[in-house]
Chain A
Amino acid sequence: MADVTMTVNGKTVSKTVEDRTLLVQFLREGAGLTGTHVGCDTSQCGACVVHVDGKAVKSCTMLAAQAAGSEVTTIEGLASGGELHPVQAAFREHHGLQCGFCTPGMIMAAVDMINRLGGPLDEATIRAELEGNICRCTGYHNIVKAIAAASAEMAGVRTAAE
């Protein structure tokens, strides 16, 4: 067993877990944050994407013990004070989801790409960056539209703040 402590969405979470515990299990079963999903279990679908120390990772392909001491952000940590994050708002506005299963991972991947590359992002970039996230409903079209809109809005907000 391992004593694992990490910061999740700004709060310290400590649990004693089996060493083989995956980060996604730690988040869902240990911290009770079930917004992070397990889709494929083979490291391909991206439904489990969270940010570890500011970088998007597949939480089904990392041990909780590897993330000990890190800062983790999940989908539950994006909205602040009851207000949706611009990417979340854009997914709602542009109907970027149908069943919603892949959405948490899509949104965490989108926030990561916008943080890394800035905005506004073009369609080709967004599609290439979504390589690790699979959606079986939307055909991706509205997901791409939502991310493009959010990236433009966030770039605008950034310029306005400068």
Chain B
Amino acid sequence: MYETTYHRAESVADAATRLAGAEDGKLLAGGQTLLPTMKQRLAAPSDVIDLTHIADLKGIAETGGGVRIGAATTHAEVAGSEIVKRLLPGLAALAGHIGDPHVRHRGTIGGSLANNDPAADYPSAVLALGAVIHTYTRQLPAEEFFAGMFETALDEGEIITAVEFPAATASAYAKYPNPASRYAMAGVFVARLGDGGVRVAVTGAGQDGVFRHEGMEQALAGNFAAEALDGIAVDADEMLSDIHGSAEYRAHLVTVMAKRAVAACG
């Protein structure tokens, strides 16, 4: 790791000021992506600004009809939250299967979303549930937030403060983890919303990162059962192909995971 200067921010405003004052600063949350990248010398920020001691960025609260999760809330806290388990069981289960227990004790929802790894788990829940990402300056609907692999709509230095999820009638996530890294080879989040609509979002498989599958959504809106997905094709031309699996294999996995998620909705 190259030299860097560590800052512990006391508030979001303090973090923004320190970031603006740094030559090439980066926000540091759980560090479970940024620190490995710095150790490999793939990132070399002059300054790192630690967000995890800012009280405003932490915690989970029930809002009228939904859940608000602070950006610096850890995966373990989301997985263990009684509020999340009751209102969005699929989200709690998703958080409880990210990486391993030690990673879940440090990694945060804000860090995961800002990073937008194409194989990360959270983006699927955020997109399927139509969550809103709150930043220091504005609110971004999920549809506008994700912008392809490792890309988001965040401006340089823009700080995510919270994610607001609407409650769903049913929600579930099914993931086929890469046997070595545990990141998703294909992960599908299925949400049944209050208005009767169904949303299906897929991570790990798509060439441009997380995406919704409208064919599956329509089929499930008509008949919310795993069999409804028989014969719904996933286009292999739009899937990732790498040493872990071909595009055809991933296209097949997406349907299998989608069926498992529907079945898990009960």
User: How far does the Cβ of A81 sit from chain B's closest Cβ, in whole Å?
Assistant: 28
Cross-interface CB contact of A43 among B6, B36, B101, cutoff 8 Å: B36
CB pair A112 B101 closer than 8 Å: yes
Q: Which residues of A contact B32 (CB under 8 A)?
A: 43, 61
Interface residues on A, range: 20 to 34
The stretch of B102-110, B139-147, B152-160 in contact with A is B102-110
Cross-interface CB contact of B3 among A18, A57, A62, A116, cutoff 8 Å: A18
Q: Which of B181-199 contact A (CB under 8 A)?
A: 181-182
Q: Which residues of A contact B59 (CB under 8 A)?
A: none
Q: Report the Cα distance A46→B104, complex, angstroms.
A: 13
- Map CB proximity to A onto B1-21 as digits: 1 under 8 Å, 0 otherwise: 111111010000000000000
User: How far does the Cβ of B245 sit from chain A's closest Cβ, in whole Å?
Assistant: 20
Cross-interface CB contact of A20 among B2, B50, B101, B182, cutoff 8 Å: B2
Instruction: Say yes or no for A131: interface residue by CB 8 A criterion.
Output: yes
Instruction: Say yes or no for A55: interface residue by CB 8 A criterion.
Output: yes
CB pair B3 A113 closer than 8 Å: no
Q: Which residues of B contact A22 (CB under 8 A)?
A: 1, 35
Q: Which residues of A contact B50 (CB under 8 A)?
A: 65-66
Q: Which residues of A contact B6 (CB under 8 A)?
A: 2, 19, 63, 65-66
Instruction: Say yes or no for A132: interface residue by CB 8 A criterion.
Output: yes
| Residue of A42, A55, A133 with most partner-chain B CB within 10 A | A55
CB pair A55 B31 closer than 8 Å: no
Q: Which residues of A contact B36 (CB under 8 A)?
A: 42-43, 61
User: How far does the Cβ of B16 sit from chain A's closest Cβ, in whole Å?
Assistant: 20
Instruction: Say yes or no for A123: interface residue by CB 8 A criterion.
Output: no
Given contacts A2-B6, A20-B3, A65-B8, contact A109 B102 (CB under 8 A): yes
Cross-interface CB contact of B35 among A43, A46, A113, cutoff 8 Å: A43
Cross-interface CB contact of B100 among A19, A46, A55, A63, cutoff 8 Å: A46
Q: Report the Cα distance A42→B33, complex, angstroms.
A: 10
- Map CB proximity to A onto B75-114 as digits: 1 under 8 Å, 0 otherwise: 0100000000000000000000001111101100000000
CB pair A19 B102 closer than 8 Å: no
CB pair B3 A58 closer than 8 Å: no
Q: Report the Cα distance A132→B1, complex, angstroms.
A: 23
Given contacts A19-B3, A65-B6, A66-B31, contact A41 B101 (CB under 8 A): no
Q: Which of B239-258 contact A (CB under 8 A)?
A: none
